Structure 1
Amino acid sequence: EITLGDVNEINIETFEDCHLPFQMVEEAQFGWTSFLETFSSRDVAGEAVYSAIFESAPSLQGLFKTPRAVMSMRIMMGFNNIIMNLKSGRNVKQLVETLGFQHLNFEVTIPRVAIFRDAILNLMKSESGETLTNLGFEGIKRTLNFAGGGFVYVRTNYSERLRILSSSWRLVCGKQAESSEDAAGSGERSAEAEGSGEGSESSLLHKNEASDEFDKSRNKSKAKNNTWSRKE
Structure 2
Amino acid sequence: MTSRTRKKPERRPSPLTREQIIEAAIGLLDTAGESGLTFRALSERLATGPGAIYWHVAGKGELLVAATDHVVVAALSEVAGAEPTGRIHDVALGLFDAIERHPWLAPQLTAQISHNPAGSVTTCIFEAIGRQVYALDVPASSWFTATSALMHYILGAAGQNAANLALVRSLGPDTDRDAYMDSVTAIWKQLSPQEFPFARAVADQGLDHDDRAQFLAGIDLIAAGLTARRTD
TM-score w.r.t. structure 1 length?
Answer: 0.29
Q: Find the structure with the greater CA-based Rg.
A: 1
Which structure: greater helix fraction?
A: 1
